[in-house]
Each structure stands twice: as structure tokens, then as C-alpha cells.
Amino acid sequence: MAKPALLVTRKLPPAIEARAARDYDAHLNPEDAPWYADGAEIARRAAAIGAAGILCAAGDRLDAACIRALPPSVKAIATFSVGFDHIDLAAARARGIVVTNTPEVLTEATAQIALTLLLMACRRAGEGERLVRARRWTGWAPTQLLGLTPEGKRLGILGFGRIGRTLARMARGLGMEIHYRDLQRLPPELEQGAIWHESDESFLRASQFLSMHMPGGEATRKWLNAERIALLPRGAVVVNTGRGGSVDDEALIAALRSGHVFAAGLDVYDGEPRIHEGYFGLENVVLLPHLGSATVETRDAMGHRALDNLDAILLRGEPPRDRVA
């Protein structure tokens, strides 16, 4: 029997491309040429090969127009990411296309980047590194680059899912007190002593450190706006490893300039890879290039998980493990 055609939109780790090529008539993107950001081009390529499946990633644009333009041969879209705000799920449902993601396997790696940003921001590690690299460091000084200690501070975790809870576990090791805000209160075995807040206001007022783990999309767009930033204690530290769109960049930049926010650490950006120009002129913000899941082991695990989902749908006709639509 002919292997199903699979459109792979991005360059993937070698073991994943090898597995895709073994089990599918796989059309790879070895140069990572950027057509994946153009939904019409994805649809055109899927039609050209009669794709049964699409293996895409965060940053690809599978909006409603793209999904409507896909050929009828497409039965499954597997994204190589836990987030799926780049795929119009309603349009996929309307077409009967199953959509899957890759949860769990990137939890530790993403929480590690949140912790990295938290520590770099509060301890001014980015500034220090720039000082040394610019060969401007003249030696240890009692008042040089003084940061804030996380020990004994309140860490507010916005979105207490797998990644938020893993960060909580790590931050407890730093001696931080964990507070959280989520749609509802979690059972005690998941809370592990973290303090739930029923309102944004009490949560933000408590958060000397704020770490954001919100999904993307309209519901969370510019959630952290000037009004909410004003509720944070003066000198707060803000970290975002969720989606860039949930921060109002103008408001955060103003708060970083005024000192109301002591420092921020960002891994995700609204409209990335574009980054608001205002951040570049600020010393007190750490800017990472969306590294959340970027470890060799994690990216392999994400690729296998995405292919496991495609195999279930396209090779065995079974329900996939990680269906989101």
C-alpha cells in the first residue's frame, strides 16, 4: 500500500526526519525556507502532493483561509508544539481535520527557561554579561549591578498548568512562596501548598515576581496591560514564556523605564520574530529567542510525539493521544 503523503513545514531533528521519511511519503523542508509562514503556500504545497497529513510548528500560519484552502486529502494536522494558537481549530473542525499538539514532553525544558529568565532578570545577569563582553568591567565593587534576591519573595504564576507547576517546584527550591491564578482552584495534590487567588487584583498585588504561562489567542491578548501592571508591587520582576501577545509591550516598556517593574525576562514576543524596538534600548530586560523547548532531547521527544499522533490517525485509523480539535 502506498505511504500517505506528509507535508513537513519545518526542518526537524535528523531522527524525526528519518522516521517521517521511513513511514510516509514525506516532503521535508531541509533548508527551513520560510514558506511555512504563508498559509496560502502551505495549502498550495499540500494540494501539490495530495497530503494526508501536515506536520507543522509554532510560527506557521494555518489560519481559517489556509485550512479552507487545504485539499480534501488532508485528514490530520500535527503541530510540533504544545501551543496551537497558530491553527484555526474551528476551521479544522468544520473540515473534519484532526489537530494534535505535543504536551508534557516540553514541560521541564520550558520551566527551566522561565527559571533562567527569572534569575537572569532579578540578578541582572544579562547586564553583567554585556559589561564583561564589552571589556568595560573594571573589577568587583560593593555596589555594582545589585539585583534582587528571590529567596523569601512571592512568585505569582499565571496559568498553573504543567509548566507553571513545574516552575513552582523549581522556585520552591529557591525559597520562594508560590501564588497562582488559574480559571479554577486546583486539588491540593496539584497545588502543593501554592496559594490560589480568586481575582486578578489580589493575585497581582501579591506577585513580587510574576511568571506568565498563558496560551495565545484573543482571550489572552494584551492581558498584562498598564492597569494590571500598576497592581504589581513596585520593583516587581516579570517573566513571560507563554505567548508574546499576552503582554502589552508599550505598557511593559513604560514600567521598565519608570522602575515600577525592576526587570523583565522574555522568551516570546507579539508577532515574533519581530520584537518591539523599545526593548532594545533597555538594560533591565533579558531577551531570549523563544528557547523554551530548545534542548536536543526535548525537540526529539516533541517530534516523536507529533509522529505518534500522525501514525495513530493516518496509519492505524485510531484516535490520537493529543487531539486538540
State the nearest-atom distance from the C-beta of 159 to ligand DGY, in Å: 13
205 belongs to the catalytic site: no
- Residue 212 CA to residue 145 CA, distance in Å, equals 25
Helices (H), the chain: 14-23, 39-49, 64-69, 89-95, 107-122, 125-133, 162-172, 188-191, 200-206, 226-231, 249-258, 296-310
| DSSP letter, residue 266 | E
State the nearest-atom distance from the C-beta of 322 to ligand DGY, in Å: 12
Quick one: which of 13, 83, 126, 245 contacts ligand DGY (CB under 6 A)?
Answer: 83
Residue 303 in contact with ligand DGY, rule: CB under 6 A: no
Site stretch for ligand DGY (CB under 6 A), options 78-86, 158-166, 223-231, 245-253: 78-86
Residue 1 CB neighbour total at 10 angstroms = 4
The rounded Cα 291 to chain-centroid distance in angstroms is: 9
Q: Exposure of 57 by Cβ count < 10 A (0-12 exposed, 13-18 middle, 19+ buried)? A: buried
Quick one: which of 12, 24, 42, 81 contacts ligand DGY (CB under 6 A)?
Answer: 81
Question: Strand 177-181 relative to strand 154-158: parallel, antiparallel, unpaired?
Answer: parallel
DSSP helix, strand, coil percent of the chain (3-state; round to 5): 40, 15, 45
| DSSP letter, residue 235 | T
By CB under 6 A, the residues from 99 to 118 that bind ligand DGY are 106
Residue 293 in contact with ligand DGY, rule: CB under 6 A: yes
Binding-residue total with ligand DGY (CB under 6 A): 7
Quick one: which of 76, 82, 306, 307 contacts ligand DGY (CB under 6 A)?
Answer: 82
Residue 323's SS3 state is strand
Strands (E), 132-228: 154-158, 177-181, 195-196, 209-212
Site stretch for ligand DGY (CB under 6 A), options 76-84, 157-165, 193-201, 257-265: 76-84
State the nearest-atom distance from the C-beta of 185 to ligand DGY, in Å: 25
H/E element, 53: strand 53-56
Which of 127, 267 has the CB closer to ligand DGY? 267
Quick one: which of 6, 20, 42, 58 contacts ligand DGY (CB under 6 A)?
Answer: 58
Which of 15, 40 has the CB closer to ligand DGY? 15
State the nearest-atom distance from the C-beta of 105 to ligand DGY, in Å: 9
State the nearest-atom distance from the C-beta of 114 to ligand DGY, in Å: 12
276 belongs to the catalytic site: no
Residue 292 in contact with ligand DGY, rule: CB under 6 A: yes
19 belongs to the catalytic site: no
- Residue 45 CA to residue 11 CA, distance in Å, equals 16
Radius of gyration of the chain (CA): 21
Out of 177, 185, 272, 276, the active site residue is 272
Which of 232, 324 has the CB closer to ligand DGY? 324
**Site of interaction with ligand DGY (CB under 6 A):** 58, 81-83, 106, 292-293
Kindly list the catalytic residues.
243, 272, 290
